[in-house]
Structure 1
Amino acid sequence: MTIGAWVFVIITAAFGLSIAGFLLWEAIAADKQYEKGLKVGLSIATAATVLITTLICGAYIWYRLNSESGRRALKDQQSNLSGGIERTVSVYDINGQLIKEYSGKFDVETDRESYILFDDEDGNRHMIYYTTGTIIVDEK
């Protein structure tokens, strides 16, 4: 899971468990002036809050680990934290002939209309315009 997903789970769990703790404290603090039903009601509310918090966090974790968007987010984060992903960029002309191929560990930036930009492992920046050709980026 991504760092942002873990932060969400931790904040949600802390919020839910703090509410449960407050309800449990109220149930313990209820003394003889209150009816016995109040203690039981607050205890049930505490258990329900813990259960709901656990279900929300569990469902979110399951979604982030088992959905394609969760996998893409994780791969993006791993790329950002480790300096890129092993990629091969192949540049073809308008007739389909290979012009150049770049391989290495790098990130690719694009405006999705006319160019891609990346710095290779040697520190050289490449800006390739593809208005008259095709570029294929394969990730490993």
Structure 2
Amino acid sequence: MTIAEVSNKYGLSQDTLRYYECIGLIPEVNRTKGGMRDYTEESCAWIELAKCMRSAGIPIEALIEYCALTQQGDQTISARKELLVEERKKLLEKMEDMKKTLERLNYKIDRYEKAEVTGVLSWQK
């Protein structure tokens, strides 16, 4: 696939795709004889992983490290697993914080809905 096709498929700009490759977030993409990027299924799988992880807030540095470890081969399986376990732990903590925030928002919205009916909003946190 061309960079334009991949850009359209994943909703990422061509500059973002080049940047991801440049910083090692995705492995180097194959090139045609004319020097154009030629994205394979494997390249696209890396892009999908990067997009998914970034949308969850996983730091770019962790993904770059993961990509580098993967390229080093099977001797890094334990290190890759450890990295993913640590990122999962952080993500679960973030989800718990978000759950608390959502509960607080629901509480506040409920108070305003009741106030719209009664015409009274009592002061509370």
TM-score (norm 2): 0.35
Question: Which entry has the higher C-alpha Rg, 1 or 2?
Answer: 1
Would you tell me which structure has more helix in proportion to its own residues? 2
> Which one has the bigger strand percentage?
1
Task: Please report the TM-score for the alignment, with normalisation by the length of structure 1.
Answer: 0.32
